Structure 1
Amino acid sequence: MQQTSPEDTGVTAGSEPSLRAALEAILLIVDEPVAEVTLAQVLERPSRKIAEALAGLSAEYTEAGRGFDLREVAGGWRLYTRAECAALVERFVRDGQQARLTQAALETLAVVAYRQPVSRARVAAVRGVNSDGVMRTLTARGLVEEAGTDPESQAVLYRTSSYFLERLGLRSLEELPALAPFLPDDVETLEEQQK
Structure 2
Amino acid sequence: MDHSHYFIVLTGGPGVGKTTLLKELHKQGFHIVEEDARRIIREQLEANADGLPWKNKIRYAKLMLAASTASYLMQIRQDHQDYVFFDRGIPDTLAYIAMEGLAIEEELIHEAKGRRYHKKVFILPPWAAIYENDSERKQTWQEAENTFKIMKETYSKLGYEIIEVPKTTVIDRAQFILKALDQQNY
- Is TM-score (shorter-chain normalized) higher than 0.5? no
TM-score (norm 2): 0.25
Identify which of structures 1 and 2 has the higher relative contact order when contacts are C-alpha pairs closer than 8 Å and 6+ apart.
Answer: 2
